[in-house]
Structure 1
Amino acid sequence: MGDVWAVLTNPNVVYILFVIGLWATAAAIYVPGTGFLEAAALACLVLAVAGFTRLPVNVVGVLLIVVAGVLFVVDLHVQSIGITVVGAGSLVAGSVLLFPSSEGLPSLSPWAIVVMVLLSLGFAAFLLAAAVRAQGLRRKAVPEEVIGQRGVVTAPLTPVGTVQVAGELWTAFADEPLAVGEEVEVVALDGLKVRVKRVTTTKGG
């Protein structure tokens, strides 16, 4: 346990955990119900907060990085270059301000900031491209084509998860928990989400 605490006094490690935790949270919001993303986000953010308690932290820096994460999530739905630019600026400013420089105390490496900002922008571009592609597919599908179609659960519905219908992945929800591999039928559309129910098969007598 002492080794863990020692690592968490390194501002570079704490910063990386914090940014990864925010991105895992954003990914979990975009693709809910995987379990892995939620667990990764929770673990990284808990460790980062633990590190914050052992280091001199600028609250403004923390808030700016959180704002950057929120803006990137909003951008997945709005898809505006302006939001992307503001989010990137907020991330850079927050990273620079996060750990105030003090003599005798470890400081955040500029290289850590550069690497994490570039990786964050790359990850944001990846999620944004996936969102644009998914919305393009949704626009092609009219309710009459989707409702009534059957598919398979690919991420557990508890109650929100992911299903594959007609070769496309959809964020889905149901009135009951559904496990991976269960067959479902689309009963309604709710924006970019589908409401599904379990397909029950009856044996002929």
Structure 2
Amino acid sequence: MAIIESPLFPSLLYLLLVAGIWLTALAVVNPGTGALEILALAALGGVALGTIYVPFNAWALIVLVLGGVLFIASLRLPRPEIWLSLSALALSVGSVFLFQPAGGGVAVHPLIALSVSLLTLGYFWWAIRSAINAQRARPTMDPDRVIGEIAEVRTELNPVGSVYAWGELWTARSEGRVKVGKRVKVVDREGLMLLVETEEEAE
């Protein structure tokens, strides 16, 4: 219980919350094996448990929800960079002020809050924006062109992972477990997910 009673506990919860936000955003724009989703859920679940011991500001929670809505808007509306910037700003502000210390004020150390907020803005602008732009550009290539082609497994298929084909990384699913580096044949697709078989199964 010593760590819970420590004045640093709200800052630790804040860092866990930001980690959950980063992982959630990455999982949405780059779906794959489900590992990111599990890690994001674990981080956000830990934050939820932490609110048992640290009070939270309702208005900051509303700002966080608004940040999530703006993030969804960046995936669906034109000019995603505008919505993404607003989302990152709202998520940064909401996460900094979410936890409320007993004596009032800001629970998170100002230096930590400033540093992490700048990192979050940069992460959303470069990493997440690039992933969104790549997603939007992908339909310019007909996904059916990869059917029948040989792909290389880049993330283990168990049964979902990623494969490399036609110069792009694709989410793929197989009937069984396929290790990294193995070659598989694309037999069909469901949306942007490829259905693959090992070369032995395809013969």
| TM beyond 0.5 | yes
Alpha-carbon deviations, 1:97-147, whole Å to 9, x = none?
4133542787223333322221112111212113323543x2453245322
Partner of 1:151: 151
Partner of 1:198: 197
On the 8 A contact 2:20/2:40 being kept in 1, the answer is yes
Q: 1:20 to 1:69 in 2, by over 3 A?
A: farther
Partner of 1:179: 178
Alpha-carbon deviations, 1:62-84, whole Å to 9, x = none?
34224424533552454523312
Distance between the aligned counterparts of 1:180 and 1:64, measured in 2? 42
Aligned alpha-carbon RMSD (Å):
3.2
Task: Give the paired residue count.
Answer: 199
TM-score normalised over the length of structure 2 = 0.77
On the 8 A contact 1:10/1:106 being kept in 2, the answer is no
Partner of 1:130: 131
Q: Does 1:164 align with 2:172?
A: no
Alpha-carbon deviations, 1:33-90, whole Å to 9, x = none?
3455344323322322222110111133134224424533552454523312431342
Q: Which runs of 5+ in 2 are unaligned?
A: none
Q: 1:33 to 1:197 in 2, by over 3 A?
A: same
On the 8 A contact 2:64/2:95 being kept in 1, the answer is yes
Q: Does 1:21 align with 2:20?
A: yes
TM-score normalised over the length of structure 1 = 0.76
Distance between the aligned counterparts of 2:158 and 2:7, measured in 1? 33
Q: 1:143 to 1:114 in 2, by over 3 A?
A: same
Identity of aligned residues (%): 32
Q: Tell me the secondary structure at the aligned position of residue 152 of structure 2.
A: strand
